[in-house]
């Protein structure tokens, strides 16, 4: 029997690593670039209403295209993306459709769909709760737009003008919340799988660096302990070509940062509890 002390370098908590965040930002940056390019091209072919703000909309779309190009170049050259960088990009993505839609009929703007990209991006970055918060933010922006547009007289030169009904605002707000819940749920599931795969890969890498069997077992059990926040970890090994099998077990010590590691050789009659044929083999 031997003791094991938890080592923070082998602790695999499910948290978004900077490498994972960078890969996510590169995918989103590519999608943002194509979205900005398509929006600029479509608006050039079919100008939006009201007509007096077409040139302003062109300039805003061109600025968004340049912004998306800058972000794409940044994430391709920057090896690591910080959380502050993610929040900054997400904030711009959230403010952008809210601002340009004010010049294109408010809540009835065709650029309303840009909010959906914001929700998809939040789902990829932070899963369910981040997407839910973003969907609430988009609804608040939509309601604020409705208030600005409705308070601007039709004969006024004020740019915040448009035609919409209360029913349209309510329905679009509900759609955004529903889309946020849906993509948030799907994004949380995919994020969990991605983080677990990354954690398992890191655990295997740490185990392979150990030179002794006892050290490898301690590293493996410590990683599983942290990954699943377990109260007990059991690992059974059987020597190929023989009936010899060893069961390693980790139990918590009184010290919350450590665990007790033990091993025992099992008899052949007891091995059925640990070893069995897989139905997929």
Strand, coil or helix: what is 71?
helix
pLDDT for the residue numbered 226 = 67
279 located within any domain: no
pLDDT for the residue numbered 20 = 77
Strand, coil or helix: what is 248?
strand
The percent of residues in the chain predicted with pLDDT above 70, rounded, is 75
What value, to the nearest 5°, has the Cα angle with vertex 38 and ends 74 and 169?
Answer: 100
pLDDT in tens, 103-135: 766 555 677 788 899 999 999 888 899 999 999
Same domain, 166 and 121: yes
pLDDT for the residue numbered 13 = 46
Spell out the residues 6+ positions from residue 240 whose beta carbon is closer than 8 angstroms to its own: none
The three-state DSSP-derived secondary structure of 115-158 is HHHHHHHHHHHHHHHHHHHHHHHHHHHHHHHHHHHHHCCCCCCC
Q: Using CB atoms within 10 A of its CB, is residue 160 exposed (0-12), middle (13-18) or buried (19+)? A: middle
pLDDT in tens, 161-191: 555 567 777 888 888 899 999 999 998 888 7
Q: In the structure, what pLDDT confidence band is assigned to residue 266 with cuts at 50, 70 and 90?
A: confident
pLDDT for the residue numbered 143 = 82
Mean pLDDT across the chain: 76
Q: Which residues on neighbouring strands pair with residue 238, listed in sequence order?
A: 245
Same domain, 53 and 108: yes
Helical H runs in 78-113?
Answer: 83-100
Same domain, 236 and 121: no
> What's the number of domains the chain is made of?
2
Q: In the structure, what pLDDT confidence band is assigned to residue 97 with cuts at 50, 70 and 90?
A: confident
Same domain, 155 and 106: yes
C-alpha–C-alpha distance, residues 229 and 231, integer Å: 7
Tokens (6 digits) for 200 = 């398992």
Range of the domain at 219: 2-11+211-273
280 located within any domain: no
205 located within any domain: no
Q: At what angle do helices 166-208 and 18-45 cross, to 10 degrees?
A: 150
C-alpha–C-alpha distance, residues 89 and 111, integer Å: 18
pLDDT in tens, 202-211: 777 777 777 7
pLDDT in tens, 58-72: 888 889 999 999 999
Same domain, 161 and 181: yes
Indicate whether 159 pLDDT > 60. no
245 located within any domain: yes
C-alpha–C-alpha distance, residues 25 and 121, integer Å: 9
Read off the pLDDT of each residue in 194-213 and give the average, rounded to a whole number. 74
Instruction: Let me know how many helices (H) and strands (E) the chain has, helices first.
Output: 6, 4
Same domain, 71 and 129: yes
Same domain, 54 and 188: yes
């Amino acid at each position: 029997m031997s003791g094991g002390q938890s080592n923070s370098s082998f602790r695999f908590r499910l948290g978004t690593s900077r490498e994972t965040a960078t890969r996510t930002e590169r995918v989103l940056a590519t999608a943002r670039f194509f979205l900005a390019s398509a929006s600029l091209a479509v608006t050039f072919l079919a100008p939006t209403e009201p007509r007096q703000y077409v040139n302003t909309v062109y300039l805003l779309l061109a600025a968004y295209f340049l912004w998306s190009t800058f972000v794409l170049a940044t994430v391709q050259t920057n090896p690591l993306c910080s959380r502050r960088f993610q929040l900054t990009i997400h904030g711009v993505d959230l403010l952008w459709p809210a601002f340009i839609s004010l010049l294109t009929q408010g809540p009835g703007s065709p650029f309303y769909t840009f909010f959906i990209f914001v929700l998809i991006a939040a789902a990829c970055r932070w899963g369910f709760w981040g997407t839910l918060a973003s969907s609430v933010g988009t609804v608040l922006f939509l309601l604020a737009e409705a208030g600005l547009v409705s308070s601007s007289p039709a004969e006024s030169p004020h740019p915040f003008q448009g035609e919409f009904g209360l029913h349209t605002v309510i329905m679009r707000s509900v759609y955004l919340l529903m889309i946020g819940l849906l993509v948030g749920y799907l994004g949380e599931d995919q994020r969990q799988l991605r983080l677990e795969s990354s954690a398992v890969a890191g655990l295997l890498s740490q185990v392979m660096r150990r030179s002794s069997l006892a050290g490898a077992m301690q590293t493996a059990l410590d990683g599983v302990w942290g990954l699943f926040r377990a109260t007990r970890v059991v690992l059974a090994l059987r020597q190929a070509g023989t009936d010899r099998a060893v069961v390693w077990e980790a139990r918590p010590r009184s010290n919350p940062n450590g665990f007790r590691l033990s091993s025992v050789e099992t008899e052949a009659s007891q091995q059925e509890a640990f070893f069995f044929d897989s139905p997929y083999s």
